[in-house]
Structure 1
Amino acid sequence: MTNLATLIDRNAAFAPAKTALRFEGAAISYAEFSAMIARAAHTLRVDHGVLPGDRVAVLATNHPAYLALLYACARLGAILLPLNWRLAAPELRYILEHAEARLCFVEPAFAATLTEAAPDVPALLLDIPKGSADAEGPGTLEDPLLLVYTSGTTGRPKGALLRQEALFHNAVMSHHLHGMTSEDQILSALPFFHVGGLNIQTTPALQAGATVTIHPRFAPDTALEAIARDRPTLFLTVPAVIRALLAAPGWADADLSSLRAISTGSEPVHQALIDAVTARRVPLLQVYGATESCPIAVYTRLGGDLSRGTSTGLPGLLCEAKVADDTGRELPHGTPGEVLLRGRNLFSGYWRDEVATAACTIDGWYHTGDIATRDADGYFTVHDRKKNMIISGGENIYPAELERVLLEHPDVAEAAVLGAPDPKWQEVPVAFLVLRAGCIADAEGVRAHVAARLARFKVPRDVIFTDALPRTALGKVRHFELRPLVGTQA
C-alpha cells in the first residue's frame, strides 16, 4: 500500500458498485468516490500547484468533497487543515496564518467569514470539478496528512500533526472496538473538523469498505429519522449529543433496532446517560483519546465487558496506555495518576512548536494531562483533566465528580466546577450552574444537595448561576473563559 488513497482504490476494485457514501439522498459508489479523489488530486496538483507538505484548508460542514480532499492530500503527500466553522474570523485568522495555508476550500455559507479572516488566502468553493484525474501520487504512509488544531479549552489552540500511518493504525483499532466490517452502515453526524467525527468511525469505515451516511451537522430529530429510515448499524456521539437525543420528543418511540452499538467519547460519561441508552437495548461503547492520538487510544469493545459502569475500557489493540506519576512511573491499580500513551497512532508533534511538543512527549510517551485510575483487570476510568484538579487542604477534588453530583440536582441543567484560590485551604471549589427552564434554585440548596452525597471539603464554596456555559463544538466547557469570573460574583 502506497498511501491511504490506495485503500479506497482497492475497495473500488473489489466492489465498484458498492455504496461508499450517502449524502442528502444521493449515493456515491466506491468507484465514483475513487474517481472523485483522483480528480481532486489533479485539481490540487495541476490547477493550484499543491506540493507535498502544503496545507490545504477546508471550512465547511460535513460533505463528500471533504473526504475526497482528505484522500487527495494523502495521494499527493499534502496536509489537510480542517477548520472549525463555529470559530470567529480572528480565531480562523490565527490558525490560517500559523499553519500558512496555501488555499482554502469553503462552503458558501462561510465565504464571508473566510474573506474577513484571511483575505490573502485563495478561496475555492467546496467542489470537485469534472475533468482529468491523478491515479498516482508521491504520498506515503510516513507523510503527515492531518493538521488538526486543538479545541482551545485552555487558550490558544495548538496544531497536532498526524501522519497517514496514524489514521491507518487508528482505523484498525476502530474495526476492533466496533467489530466493523464492510457490511456496516455508519451514520456520521459529528463534525469532520474534529478527529472524533472524522476518525472514530468515518475513515475506518471507508478503510473497511463499509457505507457512510453523512449529515452536514447533527440535529437530534434528523438523526432519529435517519436511524429509522437508513438503518445504520453504528452511530458515533458525544455526551452532549446523547443528552440532545434523550430530550428529543421522538426518542422514546424511535426505532433503534438496526443499531449494533452507539459509541461516545470526548469527556467522562455519566452513568445516567449510559443507563438511558442501554435501556433502549443498544450497547454504549466508550472511546478515550485525544486529538494527539487520532483519537482512539482506550476503549470498551462490542462483545466485551461493558459491565464496569463509567470505565472507558482497556488500552487499544495498537496503543499502549498507563497511569503514571509525575516521573512517568506506572502506578498500582486504584491509584490516580496521569494517562500516558504510546503507539503509531500518536501525533508527530505540534506544528512549529517544539517547546510544547517536548513538554508533553517524554521518552516516547505522550502525557495526556488526564487523570485516571486503573482497576485490577487493567480497565481505565478517566476522572478529569490534571490541570482541573483542585487541591484543597491537601485533598484532591476532581471537578468532574462534583459536576456529576450537581447534575443530579433536579433543577440543574449544566454544571462546571473550577478551583478558586483560598488563603487557608489553597483552593476551594466554585460551581457555575445553568438551571433548567422554569426552575428556581438557591446556592444553599445546591450546597446541601452536594453535602448529602460527597465529603464536606468537596462542597462548593460559591455557586454562580449563569444563562449558559461556554463550550467547544463537541460540548466541552471552555474553563479558561470562566476562570476570570471566579470570585467576581461570589
Structure 2
Amino acid sequence: MSVPVEIDWISKRAQLFANDIALIDAESNDQWSFKDMNNRAEILAKCFIYHDIKKGDRVALLAPNHISYLDFLFACMKIGAIFVPLNWRLSSNELEYVVNDSEPKLIAVHGDFMREHEWLDVSLNIRSNDYVDQLFTENVVLPQPNIQEQDPLAMIYTGGTTGKPKGAVLSHQSIFWNAINTIVSWNLNQEDCTLTTIPMFHTGGLNALTIPVLLSGGTVVLRANFDPIKAVHDLIHYRCTTVLFIPTMYHMIIQTDEFKQTEFPDMKVFLSGGAPCPLTIYQAFHKQGLPFKEGYGLTEAGPNNFYIDPDDAKEYPGSVGRAMMFNDIKIVGDNSQEVDVGEVGELWLKGKHLFEYYWNNDAATEIAFYQDWFKTGDLARKDEEGFVYIAGRKKEMIITGGENVYPLEIEHLLQSHEKVNEVAVVGLPHDKWGEMVAAFVSLNENMTKEELAAYCGEKLSRYKIPKKFFIIDELPKTHVGKISKTLLIQEYSKV
C-alpha cells in the first residue's frame, strides 16, 4: 500500500511538474526542481530507515534557514516520522528542555551550530546543501507505512513566554489544509514566488507561505539571515510576488533608502504577521503605492486564518479581514456566547488546519479547546462589514480601576508619532487601581514623558492614558523577534 497522495504530495508534484523550480538558496543561488526535492526526500527517508526511525519517532533539526528543513519535512511525510525543528535562538538550558521533552531518535545539526551545541547527541552533521549525497542508503528500501491524515507530521514548540514551551503537534491534515486553504483563499499559483527569511523553526517561516507556495507549484527563495537591504534586493532579483515579514522586520525595511527608491513591479502583496502591525508601517507602504495587508495566526492554528484584499486593507487599516474559505471564526464573551458587533471578546477558531494536541500535556490540550473550537487567548472585535480586528492577548488586557484597557489601541496611537520608534504598553501592579497603564517607548528623536502624555491626551480617554512612561534605548525581543512584554513586566513591576 502506497502513502496517499494527499500526504506525500511532493511525490505527485514531482511527477507532474518535474523540472519546475521549487527552491532557491539566495546565498549560493543553488536551485532545485520539484523532482530534485522529491529525490532528496527519498534519500533522507532511507537514511532515517537505516537509523531505525519508525512511524511516530521524532527527528530533530537545528539549522538556519536551509534546504534541510524541507528535506526533513518531506522525508517524514514518506515514512510517518515526526519532524521537530529546533529553535536555535534558545539558550542551552531551554533547548535541552525541548530535546528532553520531544525525545528525538535522531538529531541533525547544521555546521554553523555544531561548536555551540557540542552537548547534543548529534546523529547527522549537515555541512552543505548537498549533504544528502553523502548519506548511507545502500540496499535500504522505503517501507509503505499506513499513514492517516491525522497522524503527526511535525511538532513545533510555542514561545514559552508564560512558562515552559509546549510542543504543538501538527498532523498531515493540519499542514495540508492550512496550505490548501491559503492557496484557494489567497489565489496562489505556479507563478508565485516568495522569500522566506523568517526562521523556519517558526510556523511563520515553515507554514505561512513556504509550504502553500510549494504545494501550489510556485518557488521559494531561502535566506538564512534577515537583512533589510538584502531582503529588498532579493525581492527584486527573484521577482517575488508575495512575502511575509514580521512587524520588526518591516520597521527596518521601510527605513532603508532601497525600499523608498524601489517600485517592486512583481509584488502582488506584502504580508505582515506574527504580531499586531503598527499603522505607521501601513502608511509607509501606501505612500509608496504598494499593496500591503496584515494576517493573523498561531503555531496551533495554521498559521493562516484570514483573508483581506489589499484594497480593503487601505480602507480598514489594522483589520486582518474575514475568515478564509475552509475555516470558521467566532468572537465570544466569558459565557462562551458570541458577542455583539463592535464588542471585544476572545477569538475562537475551527477547521482542519488546527493542531491535534500538545505533546505530553493533556491538561493544556483540554484547556485549549471548547468542543471543536480552539480558544486562541487573543481578543478581537468584528465591525458591521464583518472585518475582524485583533485587540491583543487576553492575558495582556489591563483592568485599571474597573475599566478594561486594550494595549494595542494605545500602542497604535503612540506609534503614529513621528518621533516614536517602538512601543509596548503593559499593566503594572498598582495599590489603588489594581493595575496601572505603563508605556515603554524607544525614540527616533528626543521627546519628554510630558509630551508623550499630552499626545495621548488628544485622542484617548483619561483612564487609558499611561500613568507612567519609560523611555528606553531598545525594547527587549523574544526568540522570534517580537517585543517581549513579559520581560518588561518582570523588570519593572517593582519600580
TM-score range (shorter-chain normalised) is over 0.9
Deviations 1:83-103 (A, max 9, x none): 111111111111111111222
Distance between the aligned counterparts of 1:183 and 1:303, measured in 2?
22
1:50-449 correspondence to structure 2 within 5 Å: 50-116=53-119, 119-120=120-121, 122-125=123-126, 127-130=131-134, 131=137, 137-138=144-145, 139-301=147-309, 307-436=315-444, 439-449=445-455
Aligned in 2, Cα 1:5/1:342: closer, same or farther, shift over 3 Å? closer
Distance between the aligned counterparts of 1:275 and 1:412, measured in 2?
15
Answer whether contact 1:38 1:134 (CA < 8 A) is retained: no
Deviations 1:309-340 (A, max 9, x none): 11101112111110001232111111100000
Question: Counterpart in 2 of 1:16?
Answer: 18
Answer whether contact 2:380 2:390 (CA < 8 A) is retained: yes
Aligned in 2, Cα 1:416/1:212: closer, same or farther, shift over 3 Å? same
Aligned-residue offset at 1:303: 7.5
Aligned-residue offset at 1:3: 5.5
Question: Counterpart in 2 of 1:36?
Answer: 40
State the secondary structure of the residue aligned to 2:225. Answer: coil
Aligned-residue offset at 1:488: 3.5
Aligned in 2, Cα 1:179/1:483: closer, same or farther, shift over 3 Å? same
Task: Tell me which amino acid in the other structure corresponds to 2:458.
Answer: A
Answer whether contact 1:185 1:234 (CA < 8 A) is retained: yes
Answer whether contact 2:56 2:80 (CA < 8 A) is retained: yes
Distance between the aligned counterparts of 1:90 and 1:144, measured in 2?
26
Deviates more, 1:462-471 or 1:201-210: 462-471
Residue 455 of structure 1, aligned match among 436, 461, 481: 461
Distance between the aligned counterparts of 1:58 and 1:71, measured in 2?
13
State the secondary structure of the residue aligned to 1:288. Answer: coil
TM score, norm. by length of structure 2: 0.93
State the secondary structure of the residue aligned to 2:259. Answer: coil
Distance between the aligned counterparts of 1:32 and 1:277, measured in 2?
37
Aligned length, in residue pairs: 484
Aligned in 2, Cα 1:109/1:327: closer, same or farther, shift over 3 Å? same
State the secondary structure of the residue aligned to 2:155. Answer: strand
Unmatched 5+ stretches in structure 1 = none
Answer whether contact 1:182 1:208 (CA < 8 A) is retained: yes
Question: Counterpart in 2 of 1:476?
Answer: 482
Aligned-residue offset at 1:135: 5.9
Aligned-residue offset at 1:256: 0.5
Task: Tell me which amino acid in the other structure corresponds to 2:67.
Answer: P
Distance between the aligned counterparts of 1:77 and 1:282, measured in 2?
42
Answer whether contact 2:107 2:121 (CA < 8 A) is retained: no
Aligned in 2, Cα 1:220/1:177: closer, same or farther, shift over 3 Å? farther
Distance between the aligned counterparts of 2:5 and 2:56, measured in 1?
14
State the secondary structure of the residue aligned to 2:254. Answer: helix
Distance between the aligned counterparts of 1:255 and 1:410, measured in 2?
24
TM score, norm. by length of structure 1: 0.94
State the secondary structure of the residue aligned to 2:116. Answer: helix
Distance between the aligned counterparts of 2:132 and 2:189, measured in 1?
28
Distance between the aligned counterparts of 1:134 and 1:282, measured in 2?
51
Aligned in 2, Cα 1:361/1:419: closer, same or farther, shift over 3 Å? same
Aligned in 2, Cα 1:288/1:203: closer, same or farther, shift over 3 Å? same
Answer whether contact 1:176 1:301 (CA < 8 A) is retained: no
Distance between the aligned counterparts of 1:111 and 1:168, measured in 2?
32
Aligned in 2, Cα 1:16/1:136: closer, same or farther, shift over 3 Å? farther
Answer whether contact 1:373 1:380 (CA < 8 A) is retained: yes
Deviates more, 1:26-35 or 1:411-420: 411-420
Unmatched 5+ stretches in structure 2 = none
Answer whether contact 1:184 1:233 (CA < 8 A) is retained: yes
Aligned-residue offset at 1:155: 3.1
Answer whether contact 1:403 1:416 (CA < 8 A) is retained: yes
Answer whether contact 1:420 1:428 (CA < 8 A) is retained: yes
Deviates more, 1:291-300 or 1:340-349: 291-300
Question: Counterpart in 1 of 2:492?
Answer: 486
State the secondary structure of the residue aligned to 1:222. Answer: helix
Aligned-residue offset at 1:225: 1.0
Distance between the aligned counterparts of 1:290 and 1:184, measured in 2?
24
**What is the RMSD computed on CA atoms of the aligned residues?**
1.9
Distance between the aligned counterparts of 2:143 and 2:387, measured in 1?
43
Deviates more, 1:63-72 or 1:137-146: 137-146
Answer whether contact 1:471 1:477 (CA < 8 A) is retained: yes
Aligned-residue offset at 1:294: 2.4
Aligned-residue offset at 1:186: 1.8
Distance between the aligned counterparts of 1:488 and 1:464, measured in 2?
14
Identity %: 32
State the secondary structure of the residue aligned to 1:312. Answer: strand
Question: Counterpart in 1 of 2:9?
Answer: 7
Distance between the aligned counterparts of 1:177 and 1:94, measured in 2?
38
Deviates more, 1:415-424 or 1:188-197: 415-424
Deviates more, 1:162-171 or 1:239-248: 239-248
Deviates more, 1:26-35 or 1:262-271: 262-271
Answer whether contact 2:7 2:149 (CA < 8 A) is retained: no
Deviates more, 1:30-39 or 1:264-273: 264-273
Aligned in 2, Cα 1:400/1:295: closer, same or farther, shift over 3 Å? same
Answer whether contact 2:109 2:122 (CA < 8 A) is retained: no
Answer whether contact 1:179 1:302 (CA < 8 A) is retained: no
Deviations 1:272-310 (A, max 9, x none): 211212333332132211110021122324687753111
Deviates more, 1:123-132 or 1:479-488: 123-132
Answer whether contact 2:279 2:412 (CA < 8 A) is retained: no
Answer whether contact 2:194 2:219 (CA < 8 A) is retained: yes
State the secondary structure of the residue aligned to 2:390. Answer: strand
